[in-house]
Structure 1
Amino acid sequence: MYAMQYEITLPADYDMGIIRGRVATRGHLLDDFPGLGLKAYLMREREDGSPVGQYAPFYLWNTLEGMNSFLWGPGFQGIVNDFGRPVVRHWTGLAYEEGPAAAAPPGTATRRTSAVPGDIAPGHVVAEAVRAHGHDSRRDGVVASALAIDPRHWELLSFTLWAEGAVIPEGAGERFQVLHLSAPERDVLSGQPTGTRVR
């Protein structure tokens, strides 16, 4: 599993309805994309307390081939054409869990990053992070949750999708609206047999 995200920070006076319209008309195009576990079409707005207005899609890839096909193909080129070429952050996957609200459509996503301490063995930090992730993913309202790491910057990433109306605990991380979820191979992420995909 590979996690990937890019953030497009928009001007203060940008009409965020344009982003909603973009997702409404184009979001379905990745609903069957090979190699894609899931893509959460995320947005955050100043009106909701965010320091910036952003379009910030988040991806969990099952295969490098799928990720490469997207990045070097027409999908990502559409982003480049419309907004310029963003920095694409990526992390190596460590764990993925379906939550108690797995069958519900997500309304909110949270993203939390933390530094891996330099004075502790990386393997110990990762093992503890995976253990904590397994516990946190069982919270009420969790649709799905992923844990990943960037070993270049020694950064852990926790990403969680929450059901509409879920009570999100303090410290869960930065919050984003989920405008659409494409999940063609979510069953592979969760280890479910093919043909029993959770939508």
Structure 2
Amino acid sequence: MHAMQYEITLPADYDMGIIRRRVADRGHLLDAYPGLGLKAYLVRERGQDGSPVNQYAPFYLWHTPEGMNAFLWGPGFRGIIADFGRPPVRHWLGAGLRLGDTGTAPDAATRRIDRIPEGADPAEAVEQALAELPDHSSLFAAAVAVDPARWELLRLALWHGPAPEGEPGDRYRVLHLSRPALDQLPVGRHW
């Protein structure tokens, strides 16, 4: 599993209805995309859920690197570049996944990125993050992934309804969820 996200930060007075219409018009295009486990069309809006910015920040879990590459070098990402410029694309190696109630699409997401401290054992940090994966009745899915170039640990959770109180991280709304190969993503620890 490979995790990927790009963030497009928009002006404070940006009409986020433009992003909602974009997702409503185009979101379904990845509903059957080969190699894609899931894509959560995430947004943050300035002044809501503690967000200081307006942001469009799609998040992907790829079942295959070929699917990720086909998206990045194909028409899908070219549309992002044409409309918003070329954002940096973050990617992480999957370390673990927990699925909750995947019967209906999630409404919200939380994302937390922590640096693994210098001198800390990365394996222990990953094991700790896996042990802390949420197991809540409103969970759709939660993933842990690592960027070994930056030694950063990513935790992403998708939720039915609002994220539970006290759940750490940036809060997003999910406008649409594409999940063509969710059932092919490996559940549990990935090694």
Structure 1 length as normaliser, TM-score? 0.89
How many pairs align?
A: 186
- Find the counterpart in structure 1 of residue 35 from structure 2: 35
- Unaligned runs of 5+ residues in structure 1 are 192-199
Give 1:177 deviation, angstroms.
0.6
Structure 2 contact 40–58 (Cα < 8 Å) conserved: yes
The farther-off stretch of 122-131 and 3-12 is: 122-131
1:150, 1:17 → 2: CA distance?
33
> How large is the Cα RMSD of the aligned pairs?
1.3
Deviation digits for residues 91-124 of structure 1 (CA, Å, limit 9, x no counterpart): 000001101x322321101001111122222222
Structure (1 or 2) with the greater helix fraction? 1
- Secondary structure at 1:106 match in 2: coil
Q: Which residue does 1:159 correspond to in 2? A: 156
| Fraction of identical pairs, as percent | 58
> What amino acid is aligned across from residue 121 of structure 2 in structure 1?
A
- Aligned residue for 1:14? 14
Greater shift after overlay, 114-123 or 75-84? 114-123
Using the alignment, how far apart are the partners of 1:36 and 1:51 within structure 2?
30
Structure 1 residue identity aligned to 2:2: Y
Corresponding position of 1:85 = 86
> Separation in 2 of the partners of 1:173 and 1:50?
11
The whole-number CA distance in structure 1 between the counterparts of 2:177 and 2:11 is: 25
Asked if structure 1 preserves the Cα contact closer than 8 Å seen for 2:97 and 2:143, the reply is: yes
Structure 2 partner of 1:122: 122
TM-score, normalised by the number of residues in structure 2: 0.93
The 4+ residue runs of structure 1 with deviation greater than 6 A are none
